[in-house]
Amino acid sequence: MKKNIKNKIMSAVLALSIAAVPALAYADTELTASAQMGPGGFGGHMNGGPGQRMEMNGQMPDFQNGEMPQMGGPMGGFQGGMTGAQTADSPSEIVESANTSNSAESLTADTANATTIVVSDSNSDIKIKESGTYIITGSASDGNITVKKGVTGVVLVLKDLSLTSSTGATLSINKGSEVKVVVEGTVTLTDAEDIANEESDDYDGAAIKVKAGASAVITGTGTLNVNGNCEHGIKVSSLDEDDIAEGYGEASLIIEGSVKINVTAAEDGVNSGSDLTIKSGSVTVSAGDDGIKSDYILTIGEDGTDGPTVNVKKSSEGLEGAIVNIFSGDVTVNASDDGINAANSDLSGYTFSINITGGTVNVSSGADGLDSNGNINITGGLTTIVKAASNGGEGGVDYQGSFYVADGTFENPYGITMDSGMGGQMGGFPGGQQGQQGGQQESQQGSGQSETQTQDATQNMNFFQKMISAVKGFFGRIFCRNAAE
């Protein structure tokens, strides 16, 4: 009788592990996810077995007739967070930026009445003090272009220009100004400042700097090479108390058109203290720290458009924002840490989210592929977690709020973890090594088979309802029958 009870208990626990698998596929959505066994399992209150490999191969062992899986515990811990569990029946709210357009977008180049400036080592300090169209070309080993505070209606046509600055940003768009930058030919802007001077008044820490209250657009048909040798490549200032006292609001930067932007940076490729929007064009980043980062809302693409090509070739965290919205485009992220991250430790009471409604997104990361301190919505497009960690609490997807997938394709063979809520509740049963909460301490890595399932949404129920139902059903029958015997 004891053997029979043990087998039924194990059958119940296995049922919990596979209960999550049907929840992976929803209406018009194909998902690939890994059903992993092993590291840490459901979390922290029961002792887990040492957790060798458990061979599922699509079939359940017949516990009633004494058939046992290959294992070492007799059962290893399940990976924390239930691989592939969806926790929402509908998407959470998708908050869009109010700054996906600005006044600089409407500016047009008046080339017939433009002022032409040829930059050279003897003419390298260019200051724009009034509205108009300026064609700037040439090269200088140490100089910069500055649009003065409050000057609006400025169109800068940068044409076959090479400029390096050792003092301040190479291109500075000052407070309250309004500037459209049109790139023609090949333009190279290099920041050669010394970070040891970062406390000085003229230090900017970026090749292109957009300051508080400014509206800026980068567009054109040429190639813009941005070298942030000191710190960042492109920097949009955050709003501080002095800016507010002066009457300035958030800065706005929009990238659009057919411009090709290549950014290399010692720190962040693109760093924005406000919302950041990339509508079209091409942005390629190699960064020592974050690839493209916004303190608030990072927007890539627009609904109904082809969107931009964004390629983060090297980074710590690839794309980061309190909210990351990908509406269209071709997005590739390579990151040593999280691939796409929704977070900001300076914000409290904020609803963080990653929202992918269209486009093609490929993520290769050394930690989580998608990591949200709040919600994740995938409601369109093709999203693939090409590479991610699959142990130590990391996985293809990590979230703290809700996770919803529909009307698109999501391929993730690296597992799903929750940082709060269930996140995993026990180690393997009933052997010797203790599970850890959230499945973050390994009992011993197990592995499973990746499987793809597609089914109608009406056949699915909430993950937690499934788990509770399975627990009640199996354990209720076990202990009631035991009492009767």
Supply the pLDDT for residue 157: 98
When comparing pLDDT for 326 and 49, which is higher? Answer: 326
Supply the pLDDT for residue 199: 82
- Residues 244-275: pLDDT tens digits? 999 999 999 999 999 999 999 999 999 999 99
| pLDDT tier, 393 (very low <50, low <70, confident <90, very high otherwise) | confident
**Cis peptide bond prior to 74, omega within 30° of 0:** yes
Residues 6+ apart with CB under 8 A from 200: none
Map out the domains of the chain as residue ranges: 103-362
When comparing pLDDT for 31 and 169, which is higher? Answer: 169
Asked if the model's pLDDT at residue 26 lies above 80, the reply is no
What number of CA atoms fall less than 13 Å from residue 483's CA on the CB side?
Answer: 5
- Residues 50-73: pLDDT tens digits? 332 222 333 444 444 544 444 333
Asked if the model's pLDDT at residue 175 lies above 60, the reply is yes
| pLDDT tier, 307 (very low <50, low <70, confident <90, very high otherwise) | very high
Q: What is the mean pLDDT of the chain?
A: 78
Supply the pLDDT for residue 197: 85
Token pair listed for 393: 């609490």
Residue reference for tokens 């100089």: 143
- Residues 408-466: pLDDT tens digits? 899 999 988 876 443 333 233 333 333 333 333 333 333 333 333 333 333 333 444 44
Amino acid at 202: D
Dihedral angle sign, alpha carbons of residues 452, 453, 457, 462: negative
pLDDT above 90 covers what percent of the chain? 63
- What interhelical angle do 2-19 and 463-484 show, nearest 10? 170
Lowest mean pLDDT among 314-323, 335-344, 460-469: 460-469
55 with 341: CB under 8 angstroms?
no
CA distance 439 to 26: 26
CA of 36: how far to CAs of 18, 257, 419, in Å? 10, 44, 17
- Residues 209-239: pLDDT tens digits? 999 999 999 999 999 999 999 999 999 999 9
pTM for the model stands at: 0.74
Supply the pLDDT for residue 27: 40
Supply the pLDDT for residue 327: 98
Closest CA to 411 of 32, 84, 105, 28: 32
Asked if the model's pLDDT at residue 87 lies above 90, the reply is no
| pLDDT tier, 200 (very low <50, low <70, confident <90, very high otherwise) | confident
Average pLDDT over residues 15-26: 39
Supply the pLDDT for residue 408: 84
Dihedral angle sign, alpha carbons of residues 108, 110, 115, 116: positive
Average pLDDT over residues 292-321: 98
Supply the pLDDT for residue 86: 54
Supply the pLDDT for residue 385: 96
Supply the pLDDT for residue 321: 98
Average pLDDT over residues 389-411: 89
CA of 25: how far to CAs of 91, 362, 407, in Å? 15, 19, 10
- Residues 34-43: pLDDT tens digits? 433 333 333 3
End-to-end CA distance of the chain: 9
When comparing pLDDT for 13 and 379, which is higher? Answer: 379
Asked if the model's pLDDT at residue 44 lies above 50, the reply is no
